[in-house]
Structure 1
Amino acid sequence: MCAVSKIWLDVTSILQWNRPAVGVIRVEAECAKYALDHLESVVEFCRFDWKAGYVKVAPSDVRQTIDRIGHVHQTLVASTDSLAAPPAVPLILRLASVVRRILNKLPRRLGESMSRFLAVRREAAEAGINGLREFRRAIRVWRSPAAQTIPLLENSTHQTESVLFSQGDVYVSLGLDWDQKDLTFVAEQKALLGFKTIFCCYDLIPVKFPHLCVGDVAAKFARYFADLAWCADEVVSISECSKRDLLILLEELGTPVPETTVIKLGSHLPTSNDANVATQTKDAAGDRFILFVSTIERRKNHETLYRAYTRLVDKGVKNLPKLVFVGMPGWGVNDFLADLRFDGRVKDLVKVLINVSDADLNWLYRNALFSVFPSLYEGWGLAVAESLAAGKFCLASNVASIPEVGGDLIEYLDPWDVQQWAERLEWYSSNPNALAQAEIRIRKEYDAPTWAETAITVFGRAQALLPS
């Protein structure tokens, strides 16, 4: 009797996660939840272990993990005095800090002259640093060429005595693959055993905009996507923008181009009871507030909102609503957090909430005047979709995939145009009738995709790869 082929969903990322589900984690968790509830006889679960390879995960462990992620929260109203970004700082910035300290010790005129001389040569310094890194990597590759070849079939050191996948199976990975998986091993096992694979492309931000990411990530992620192209039978992208970016990159790299389809991410939050909303959340937000849900990092562009608000304060605008940032501090924002801490103009106007629950987030969306999303680039823009799902208007940037999310139901601005943001923030804050009309239209016209629909699409693609 022939064995029945299976779909294997990789749950490595959610097993290692210890905070409320966001972004990539929410996608993996929601698809796992759907599989547990509706596809128990078809879908199995696995995780990747760097020593043992792929290991089967019991459904009960997956359900327990999803429950744990859903209940890990203790809303914190973060004082800007205690907020700090992770310590990783790009080398160019560390060198700049050292140079500034040296220049400060020189006579003022000489220091200013040297500062101007170096400032116009920063791009050259960055290019030199990156060139030295690439030269160092080239030396490593020259010494060990076998470990660097593509396709990647010669580099696995994992134990394979216990083989998990079988011919005809489909392996689905939706998680943080660039950090947690060995695509060398996947390619090797796929060639030996004959199973199919589906991976997910969220965005190509580290390749397209490495200066908005921590460290020198462009080469690492270009290689990751090249490896993925050799491993994948199909790639699901979370937007037409991400799909387009991926296809352009793979063509430039000269890799195979797997079948690529677009999935829509769910935008509904689980139903919740207002009785479960933390008092700290309600007290911090107050009666009138504008909401921005996002990790606090350079790419998300919180600084445009901060500068817009300071302009409004300087202009003498009264009764401004609070600006509530919901998200953990990321890298590269220490100077911004310092501005929030020391700028008396916004000390009582900007509040930062971290580690909020779904109940808190639901309440914040429903009670906000409107939401904002000034991001410089997105693979999708989940916060825009969540705002619309909650029936709330959003003022968003006009770049990348964001117009795919909001359609003509929201207003778009240049993310760099501080004055325009200031004007529209003031206008919508003082025009409740316009917001009410926008909300009526959103409730009437916006068809919020559910996470169940996302999972159905993903597993539908996987089932199409199973032997007929």
Structure 2
Amino acid sequence: MYKKKSGPLPDRAEETCGKKQQICIDATGLLAWRGALAGIQRIEDFMVRAALADSDPDIEVVTLDLSSRRFRPLENFEMEELGIRELAPFRLRPGRKRLAALRSAFDVVRRYPMAKREADQQLARIVTEGRPGLTCAMLRVMLRAYRLWRRGGLIAGLFRPGTADGEKGPGYSKVLISNYVMVGETAAELTRQGSSTAFLCHDMIPTIRPDFVGKGRMQSVFGPNLEALVRSGAAAFCTSDAAAEMLIGHMQRAGIPVPTIHRFPMPSLLHEKATRLGATSGLDTAETVVLYCSTVEIRKNHILLARIWQQALDEGVKLPKLVCVGRWGWMVEELSAYLEAHPQLGKQIVFVGPVSDEELIRYYRSASFGVFPSHIEGWGYFASECLDFGIPVIVSTTPSLIEATGGLMPAIDSTDQAGWYAAIRRMAEDVAWRRALSERIAKKYRPTAPPDSWAALKAGLKATAGQQ
């Protein structure tokens, strides 16, 4: 099994790279993400922000250099993108001169001629300090042209290979890589470099239930990348006991020794924000609303809810309006076809798409109860967030959702339409049962403060860095 564990910086980041216990949080995925934060991105945003705000000199935030495929400290403009002036202005360092940055960019291209197009974009952003526009676009083209020229000359034997292969990256004791890097093509290569890695294990769904992921790159690289990381000695930080069990089972089946596993408590991020805003109490609304917050995809089982609401219409039963929050994802053809074939559901089920934190807080405060019929999860943030705001939620029997709700909420098999229909009707009609579940939450459940979650994560990283 596994063990459950729960000042100004130097002017130049390079001066901190050789510290014995230095640990780093990778911001590559967060910097690359565009759109509303949800799920994995929300957790990575929490970790990066907590690390930036931490004055511990052994804590660094890094990103993957796409040319050398090694981690480097963030540039000032990258920290600005993450809101550094509000979080921790002490982390800002003297900016590099534009000419020096330009020379460095061309030198990087000379040493790493085989890097891809994304590396030129990254270098152009560094030189222009993240400012988009004509200058950045022209510089990207110039760097690409120079790289192709160097590459062609190297292949033709006109140039001697650079020193890239013999270089060593910074001496970080432990880098907690982002999910973006973990499922990328560089993950296996990172295991062969000097920096030791750790990874977040949200779940093993791409290997356990590939039918919920679809045939694509994600499905093909997830398992092999994870196995390469574990073979290299990478530690795992699991978001739930259920995710840890998934990871252990996969490695045992693959004949790979189980890695060091840390379980850290998931932070109640939205509730913490609602507390700061003074917006945690319930709202009196004229209309009863049932809430479901998740990406709309086959695994989340929205189709079951659509069939239940249609069954209620067919039987003349009035159910509350169902509000589905979240962006549309993949493998939703069956759901789309069902909704199109039953247009009357448009008044009973509303898909509002991704919303702001403030809007989502209002939905939680207004909802009578939540539903989470997902087939499989690594944690299931919506389930725990319902309890954060004191509202009952019906969950599926997948272990992670029972774990996320502390076993306090009714759980029904995700394929049992009759059971779900009966539970939803009871929750909507039996006010006393709903109130009893709310009282159970108030007595037995407490949200996890983000600082406590960060402290556990940081302690685990330092412990694995010390064991290395």
- Answering whether residue 170 of structure 2 is matched by residue 175 of structure 1, we say no
Q: Cα gap change, 1:276/1:239 in structure 2, threshold over 3 Å: closer, same or farther?
A: closer
- 1:63–1:7: structure 2 CA closer, same or farther, 3 Å change rule? farther
* Residues 241-320 of structure 1: pairs in structure 2 closer than 5 A: 241-269=242-270, 270-272=272-274, 287-318=287-318, 320=319
Structure 1 237/364 Cα, relative in aligned 2: closer, same or farther at 3 Å? same
Contact 1:242 1:379 in 2 (8 A): yes
Number of residue-to-residue matches in the alignment = 369
Q: Counterpart of 2:175 in structure 1: which amino acid?
A: Y
> What is the SS of the residue equivalent to 1:296?
coil
Paired AA for residue 61 in structure 1: E
1:18 aligns with 2:40: no
Any idea what SS the aligned residue of 1:176 has? helix
Once the two structures are TM-superposed, the CA of residue 445 in structure 1 deviates from its matched residue by: 1.6
AA aligned opposite 2:418: Q
Contact 2:52–2:60 at 8 Å: present in 1 too? no
Question: Deviation of residue 162 (structure 1)?
Answer: 6.8
TM (normalized to structure 1)?
0.72
Residue by residue, what CA displacement relative to the aligned partner does 1:105-148 show, whole Å, maximum 9, x if unpaired? xxxxxxxxxxxxxxxxxxxxxxxxxxxxxxxxxxxxxxxxxxxx
User: Are residue 456 (structure 1) and residue 455 (structure 2) matched?
Assistant: yes
Q: Which runs of 5+ in 1 are unaligned?
A: 71-156
**Corresponding residue number in structure 2 for 1:380:** 379
Alignment deviations for residues 249-305 of structure 1 (CA, whole Å, 9 cap, x no partner): 11222224321122221134143499999xxxx9xx972210000000000000111
Superposed, 1:45-444 pairs within 5 Å as 45-53=61-69, 54-58=71-75, 61-62=78-79, 64-65=81-82, 159=164, 163-166=168-171, 169-180=173-184, 182-190=186-194, 195-215=195-215, 218-269=219-270, 270-272=272-274, 287-318=287-318, 320-444=319-443
1:186 Cα deviation from its structure 2 partner: 1.4
Structure 1 Cα separation of the partners of residues 430 and 387 of structure 2: 19
CA distance in 2, matches of 1:462, 1:158: 32
Residue 239 of structure 1 aligns with an amino acid whose one-letter code is S
Instruction: Sort the Cα spacing of 1:383 and 1:158 in 2 relative to 1 into closer, same or farther, 3 A.
Output: farther
Higher RCO (CA < 8 A, seq sep 6+) = 1
Structure-2 residue corresponding to 1:86? none
Q: After superposing the two structures, state which structure 1 stretch, 410-419 or 450-459, moved more.
A: 450-459
Distance 1:235 1:348 in 2: 45
Q: Deviation at 1:163?
A: 4.5
CA distance in 2, matches of 1:158, 1:295: 45
SS in 1 for 2:346: coil
Q: How does 1:36-51 map to 2 (within 5 A)?
A: 36-51=52-67
Deviation at 1:63, TM superposition (A): 5.5
Tell me the CA shift for residue 159 of structure 1.
4.1
Whole-Å separation in 2 of the counterparts to 1:422 and 1:66: 45
SS in 2 for 1:401: helix
Question: Using a 3 Å threshold, how does the CA distance of structure 1 residues 428 and 339 change in structure 2: closer, same or farther?
Answer: same
Q: Is this contact kept in 2: 1:36–1:63, CA < 8 A?
A: no
Once the two structures are TM-superposed, the CA of residue 211 in structure 1 deviates from its matched residue by: 0.8
1:393–1:439 CA contact under 8 A, matched in 2? yes
- 2:427–2:433 CA contact under 8 A, matched in 1: yes
Indicate the residue corresponding to 1:113 in structure 2.
none
Question: SS at the partner of 1:264?
Answer: coil
Measure how far apart 1:221 and its partner are.
2.3
SS of aligned partner of 1:352: strand
Kindly state the Cα deviation for residue 31 of structure 1 after the two structures are TM-superposed.
1.1
Q: Deviations over 1:209-229 (max 9, x none)?
A: 111112155543221221121
Q: Deviations over 1:35-73 (max 9, x none)?
A: 1222452211211133232232046633632689x9xxx
The answer for the alignment partner of 1:119 in structure 2 is: none
Give me the whole-angstrom Cα distance separating, in 2, the residues matched to 1:411 and 1:309: 19
Give the secondary structure class of the aligned counterpart of 2:82.
helix
Tell me which amino acid in the other structure corresponds to 1:4.
K
Offset of residue 354 of structure 1: 1.4
One-letter amino acid matched to 2:82: T
Segment drifting more, 210-219 vs 438-447: 210-219
Task: Describe the shift of the 1:256–1:409 C-alpha distance in structure 2 as closer, same or farther (beyond 3 A).
Answer: closer
Cα RMSD (Å) = 3.0
Name the aligned partner's letter for residue 271 of structure 1.
Answer: K
Specify whether residues 184 and 344 from structure 1 end up closer, same or farther in structure 2 by C-alpha distance, changes over 3 A only. closer
For 1:327 and 1:384, the matched residues in 2 are separated by: 14
Maintained 8 Å contact 2:52/2:61: no
Distance in 1 (alpha carbons) for counterparts of 2:453 and 2:80: 19
Q: TM-score, normalised by structure 2?
A: 0.72
Q: Report SS of the residue matched to 2:376.
A: coil
**Measured at CA, do residues 290 and 247 of structure 1 come closer, stay the same or move farther in structure 2, by a change above 3 Å?**
same
Whether the 8 Å contact between 1:268 and 1:451 is mirrored in structure 2 is yes
Change (3 A) 1:467 1:434: closer
Distance 1:308 1:461, change over 3 A: same
Native 8 Å contact 1:250 1:257 kept in 2: yes
Q: Is the 8 A contact 2:188 2:229 kept in 1?
A: no
Q: Unaligned 5+ residue runs, structure 2?
A: 1-14, 88-161
Paired residues of 2:191 and 2:197 also in contact (CA < 8 A): no
